[in-house]
Amino acid sequence: MTRPMKNSGVEWLGEVPESWNNKKINNMFKIIGSGTTPKTSHSEFYDNGTIDWLNTGDLNNGYIIETKNKITEMALNSVSALKMYPKDSLVIAMYGATIGKLGITKIAVATNQACCVLAEPKDNDLKFVFYWLMGNQKEIVALGYGGGQPNISQQLIKNLRIPCPDVVQQQKIASFLDEKTSQIDSILAATKQSIVELKKYKQALITEIVTTGLNSDVKMKNSGIEWVGEIPEHWGVDKLKEVGSFFSAGVDKKIRENESLYKSVHYTDVYYNSLKQIKNSENYLVISATEDKAKKSNLLKGDVLFTTSSETPEDIGHSTVIEEDLQGTLMGYHLIRFRAENDMLLSYRKYAFGSSHLRSWFAYRANGMTRYGLKVVDFLDAPFIITPQEEQQKIADFLDEKCAHIDNLIADKETLIREFETYKKALIYEYVTGKKEVE
């Protein structure tokens, strides 16, 4: 039997069950607040800190059991805008890259200024409100537009009206969604892990083939590279500076030195296209640069670009190859350009320079504290395996076929993830808005 429905009074919701009542978030919680960021120049606020300090980057649309950052008792006692919020508080990101993201704390926390905390619900179920905000996340974030960066302020959140049933029904809906979303999350986690494993396998396959070749019967010799071991006897090893040249002075996308416009490849273009070849300038940023700067940092077909910094040493040295002539395209910051001076085939380069044996060298040479970096000399001295040209094309053809198959498997799994994530959002929305009823 269909339940009697009424207009929700919320523009995007349409109708809700007639027995449900609109409640303003401001009246649903005893505590609503935020926090701040202690001055980073005061090391005593952070060094050896033991108090969990929540940032929006910690929010995961689930439970928060630990924060990445800690602060000290001194920070808590010295900075008046900092306060502790109890376990089982609901947190929503108000702005930035994670705007609208949610979390429920399973620990007591302090927060930064981008978090809005809802604590100690008054005759309401915290998990129901969590699911309601998640199910309406897109529409809530849309309310924050109007200026430059979207901002769902604390006042906006307080004024949100939530049509909801009595607390017993809220708990029933929340329990139902806990069970259903847990099943979906298990599928998502397994699928994401399988993608991780496929990417590891792909990288391992590339490294194996470019260091040992395709002929399992070939006579081997010690490469002299500790983490590589043996290579075919007729192959060689040399330093990268002996097989090509490097250039590191890239251009800044903000440069406005004259009116000559150029396109540019930047750090993210390479980082997110590792082991791929850049074929067009669709995503390049338009900049200006001096004629001399443009001449030095230009990119030619066959050039290899490496990233020179990262948050972890293991994640440094991503590479990509310029496959086609890109007229007027320059190299951006935080990259280094390698231009081969030998007869290495273009089709082989993305595999030769994307091999883990080079990444292992970069990780070994990387230095830094909060962010790791490489110097030009780290690239000059990198050991590089010299493969005869007649074998390069066979290796490239073999890896093209194998990697294409792996990439197709990954693409299918990524599609599956998107479909399940869409289904999860729709499921939550339908039950927290009363479109469907828990049996």
Per-residue pLDDT averaged across 386-408, rounded?
95
388's CB contacts (< 8 A; 6+ apart) are: 234, 235
> Which has the minimum average pLDDT: 91-100, 172-181, 254-263, 330-339?
254-263
- Given phi > 0 = left and psi -120 to 50 = alpha, else beta, which region is 61? left
Residue 368: phi, psi to the nearest 5? 150, 180
Average pLDDT, the chain: 89
Integer angstrom CA distances of residue 383 from 150, 240, 251, 361: 48, 6, 28, 8
Averaged pLDDT, 65-76? 95
Query: What's the confidence (pLDDT) of residue 261?
Result: 66
Lowest-pLDDT range of 64-68, 325-329, 385-389: 325-329
**CA torsion angle for 180, 186, 187, 191 (degrees, to 10)?**
160
Band of residue 298 on the pLDDT scale cut at 50, 70, 90: confident
State the pTM of this model: 0.83
| Residue 115 to residues 25, 87, 140, 177, Cα–Cα distance (Å) | 16, 15, 15, 25
- Judged on CB neighbours under 10 Å (0-12, 13-18, 19+), 291 is exposed
Dihedral of CA 416/421/425/427: which sign? positive
| pLDDT tens track for 331-366 | 888 888 999 887 889 899 989 988 888 888 888 888
User: Buried (b) or exposed (e) across 75-95, using 16+ Cβ within 10 A?
Assistant: bbeebeebbebeebbbbbbbb
Tokens of 435: 């479109």
Q: 234 falls in which pLDDT band (50, 70, 90)?
A: very high
φ/ψ bin of 307: left (φ > 0), alpha (ψ from -120 to 50), beta (otherwise): beta
**Which 8-state DSSP code applies to residue 284?**
P
- Of 67-71, 112-116, 335-339, minimum mean pLDDT range: 335-339
